[in-house]
Structures are given as structure tokens and as C-alpha cells.
Structure 1
Amino acid sequence: MKTILYPSESRGHANHGWLKTYHSFSFANYFHPDRINFGALRVLNDDSIAGGKGFGSHPHSNMEIITIPLSGSIQHQDSMGHTEVIKPGEVQVMSAGKGIVHSEFNADEANELKLFQIWILPNKKDVVPRYDQKSFNFSIKNEWISIVSPKDSKDENLWIHQEAWLHLGCFDKDFNAKYFLNKTSNGIYFMVIEGSFSVNGENLNERDAIGIWEAGSVTIQATSENSKILLIEVPMISIN
């Protein structure tokens, strides 16, 4: 088993006034030669967006994009004709494929929007762009809630063009949760959303993260009440 620790305070940070963002991996003006990716996981941005503000129309291609609102609602529009609002408890996915243009704004004029935006490198290029969103019951405790799987998976959740799996979990203090990798050649990236956990002997607090690979399974333990964690299993591909 191999590991790499990503302390919260080691992330890239930018304050644009209307946008306060933390970058787990190199993004925009933040570059760290050792923080380009974790396998197929290319971006994990932790964004706080002021009321009514957001990202105007901009393009993407050949990327699987997953958006998880933590608080507040996202107003989304894209070149495929979708106009949607994504709220906490919902997750959005887009396969950018051969090219899309979209915009994202805080749907609330008064209150801050907080979200994770995740980019995963696809296993197929130039696919037909697609959009989907789905509601999940994140109030379920002490079990993994599967939110994203590969296209050919039989799971009743969202899918992307990659052999990747995403889960969220909310656990009681001292609860042990075991996760078996779908592919032993994959790696797992854990990020603590709230509370604290012990993962592979490392104590992780809010927004701390750890990457683990060359492991068939991993057991984590919540070390505070109502602790929430994000799990991303991805192929350990390299980026040239």
C-alpha cells in the first residue's frame, strides 16, 4: 500500500472577491509540479461563490465534470440546451467530449454558494457531450452512498466515461467503514468534508485528503460525530 497526504493548508488558494477557491491540484494560476493529478483525478476545486455571481459562458472538451453543491444552489446553462438548478442533495455530471459551452452562477442573490467541482480524465475522447443530474439521500448514515460509476455499471446512479467510482459517506464517531476497490489497479482519493477521520493511520480533519494505491481495500474510522467524507476511486494513469 502506498499513500500521499494532502493537508488542507497545502492546497492552492485564490480570492477573487466574488469567488474564494481552493485547488487540490494545479489549476488556473496555481501550479505545483507534484500536484498535477491523482491518477485520472485532474481537478478538485473547493469553491465559495458570492450571491448572484458565477462563471460566465466558457468551453470544455474531453473531460468528465462532476459538481457537488454543499450549500446553496447552482444555476446552470449549456450549449446542449439545458437550463437547470442543482441543489444540495443533488449531483451534476457532464461529459464534455467533443466540446460544450456552459455557465454556472449562484442561483441565490443573497447567500453564498459552496461546491466541489471535480474533473476526471475520460477513457474515451471526442464523445457526444451529455448532461445529467440526480438526487441522493445523503442523510443515510454509516454506509457508502454511490453517486458516480462507469458507463457500463449497473448501479442506479450517475455515470461517466471512465472506470471511476465516487461515494459520499456520513459516519458516527468510532464507526469503521471498509471500502473494497472495484479494480485493484485503481487508487482512492479521500477528502474529509466535515469532522475528522483516521485513514491508514493518518488523522485527517476538514478538507484534509489522502491518496492510497496498491491496496485491495481500505478501512477508515470516523473520529468525530457526523463526519462526512468524499471517496474517489480512479485509474492510476499518468499525465505526460
Structure 2
Amino acid sequence: MIEVRRADDRGVIERHWLSSRHTFSFGHYFDPKQVGFSDLLAINDDRVIGGRGFEHHAHRDVDIFSYILEGALQHKDTLGNDVTIKSGEVQMMNAGTGIAHSELNPSSTEGVHFLQIWIQPERSGALPRYQNAQFPQTGKRGKLKLVISPDGRDGSVSTYQDVRAYAGLFHGAEAGVLELPNDRYAYVHVARGAVSINGCSLRDGDGARVRKETRLVVSDGSDSEILIFDLRPHETP
């Protein structure tokens, strides 16, 4: 079963420095029917103007994954990390017992477009840590590349949860397949372009909850970039 969440139905946050679309309830946007999915708590599609961003603030007991689509993002945290990641790169901040950070656009003229994704860890009080990784287009072209996993295998960044995420680029005849155990959920997010998932057409910003499907077939892409999350089979409280 595939339940589509259209881009135009997402929450909208507009500030003079930030344009954001929220797939799930987050911050000032609340929809009781859209309070996460399994261990996914947030998928925020953020665009930040040059020289601005999210100033120093703190988190605990949440894993925050950033996927850069355009531009660059400078991360600083209380663990001593000072890293700038660019398009094609990702980062994972496991807040654990507590970490403070900032996420700023280092350019004075160009915007940054990125996805900010929150994952509920399996336990509280874990060790705070930071990771980043590069995933070139060649490794995602016409295939689903593992980018998040519990154990960091195959160069993925690791999360304190039984979650795996795959990123892929698809156009024309390119196709990909993700096999799922029959007791798993999945969530599909289209970062840009258009694509078909098991014959269901999705476009830029669309998402889909997936239940009781053991095989996801990605096809009919039009300059598409997608993320697919392999999740535990439970509903968000």
C-alpha cells in the first residue's frame, strides 16, 4: 500500500531568510495526521539565503541528517567540529546526551537548499557524535545508494536506530529496485524532478508512506533525485 503526501499539502514556513516545507509536524506547523512516520520525525525542505541560517542552539536524543541539494552549509558544534559540506555531501549529528550546533550558509550571495531529516534514536542518553560523507552523482546514478545505516556500512553515516536510507538519481530508462522484508515500512521522498514508484507517479516535494510492499521499483524518472527510508513497522505515537 502506498499513501501519497503531495508537496502542496506540506506545512509552509516563510521568513525573510528561510523558506521551508515540512512533510511532518514540526515547530509552529502541526497537523495531527502528519506526526512523523515510524522513526522519521521530520523531513524539512529548507532554502536559506546567503549569510544566514540556524544560529547556535541545542538538541538531545535525536539523530539529525542533512542532505545538501544545492550550495553549501557550514556546521559548527560543541564537539569541536567546524565543517562545510556541499552539494552531494551529507552529515549526521547524533545529539545523544546533548550537543549544541549552528547550521549557516557561508556564502554571502548564493542560497543553500538542503533536506533536514530527524530520526528518533532507539534509546536515550547515547554518545553524541558527528559524521559527514560524500556521495558523488556517479554512485547514485540509476541506482539506490545506501547513505544511512545502523552500522555505517558501505561508507554510509550511522544512526542510533534500525533505519536505512537510500539515495538515487533517475532519468529516462534508468531504474532501481529496493527489496523490503514483508514486516518493514518505507518512506519515499522526492527531492527534485519526477519519478514513478511501483507505478505511482511522484514529483518534486512529494512523499509516500509505504506499507505491506516487499519490492519498490523506481522508474520513469525525469531528472529525479529521491530518498527511500527502510523503517521499522510501527506507527508514530
TM range (shorter): over 0.9
Name the counterpart of 2:192.
194
Structure 1 residue identity aligned to 2:182: T
Name the counterpart of 2:66.
67
SS at match of 1:39: coil
**Equivalent residues in 2 for 1:136-215 (5 A)?**
136-140=135-139, 141-151=141-151, 154-181=153-180, 183-215=181-213
Distance 2:162 2:236 in 1: 16
* Worse-superposed segment, 26-35 or 213-222: 213-222
1:110 matched to 2:109: yes
Q: Deviations over 1:26-64 (max 9, x none)?
A: 011100011001111110000000100011111111111
Give the share of equivalent positions with the same residue, in percent: 31
- Give the Å deviation of 1:144: 1.1
Runs of 4 or more, structure 1, over 6 Å off, are: none
1:235 matched to 2:232: yes
Name the counterpart of 1:82.
81
Total equivalences in the alignment: 236
Distance 2:24 2:227 in 1: 16
Distance 2:75 2:104 in 1: 7
Structure-2 change in CA distance of 1:217 and 1:78 (3 Å): same
Distance 2:144 2:198 in 1: 18
Structure 2 residue identity aligned to 1:142: G
Structure 1 residue identity aligned to 2:226: I
Structure 1 residue identity aligned to 2:229: I
RMSD: 1.4
SS at match of 1:139: helix
Structure 1 residue identity aligned to 2:142: N
- 8 Å CA contact 1:149–1:155 kept in 2: the answer is no
Gaps of 5+ in 2: none
- Give the Å deviation of 1:194: 2.2
TM-score by length of 1: 0.93
Structure-2 change in CA distance of 1:122 and 1:23 (3 Å): same
SS at match of 1:155: helix
- 8 Å CA contact 1:40–1:236 kept in 2: the answer is no
Distance 1:58 1:4 in 2: 35
- Give the Å deviation of 1:11: 0.2
- Give the Å deviation of 1:186: 2.1
